[in-house]
Structure 1
């Protein structure tokens, strides 16, 4: 089975980033728990496989070490889009260099992809609230 490593890296990065954001650098050592959601658990599983932490007797490759370094950097600044992009590039390099690893991970069933919240509104003077609203929203009676 031929796997597009570039697309796979693109697909896996949001899961990996979600896991790093949730657990920080400890994502590689944490035991899966029921408290984490499916996205984070899948991201953790991906990162453990990519870094070789799922087979502790094996010596890590240079590519796996590069992914670990990216995880550590991203854990220190989880909102840094540049660091998330560097992680994606390292994942892509690792998957490109190891087609068997790419094929293995590509076959895994994925949970729903992490998404961002989108708030929209329609209609004249319709308010849009992205989070909880604990107050009254006034749009005015005679305002057009």
Structure 2
């Protein structure tokens, strides 16, 4: 998977989750409410961009996934499910990648995403000495 797709999904995930939490499956067809929160509105526009590009079967699948995510009421689950959906859509549609890139704000210059995963995992952009594991004692003075 390209770094561009990963970045787009990371940026779009929170706003898409907010839109689904606010509107449920109606987010796919609802006209944007002028008074809607900017985050929810952006998430709605992203989902509607995916919606417009799908065929009938794809739309039915998208409705099912969004409805299921909205009913779950668990933001972590909703984000995971919707991120998977976005990844799949972005991988198969370069024009959708361009459209989402135009909708989403450009990442801050120098922004770095670091993920540490697993038992005793550490991560850092600029780090001095890092010692992990059992049995390590601090240096004696």
- d(CA) in 1 for partners of 2:75 and 2:33? 26
Select the structure that is richer in helix. 2
Matching residue of 1:127: none
- d(CA) in 1 for partners of 2:37 and 2:75? 22
Q: Give the number of equivalent residue pairs.
A: 105
Give 3-state SS (helix, strand or coil) of 2:64's partner: helix
Q: TM-score, normalised by structure 1?
A: 0.62
Q: Once superposed, what is the RMSD of the aligned Cα atoms?
A: 2.5
Q: TM-score, normalised by structure 2?
A: 0.64
- d(CA) in 2 for partners of 1:16 and 1:47? 7
Instruction: Answer whether contact 1:71 1:87 (CA < 8 A) is retained.
Output: yes
Equivalence map 1:12-27=2 (5 Å): 12-27=12-27
Give 3-state SS (helix, strand or coil) of 2:103's partner: coil
Q: Does 1:48 align with 2:48?
A: yes
In structure 1, stretches of 5+ residues that fail to align are 111-144
In structure 2, stretches of 5+ residues that fail to align are 106-141
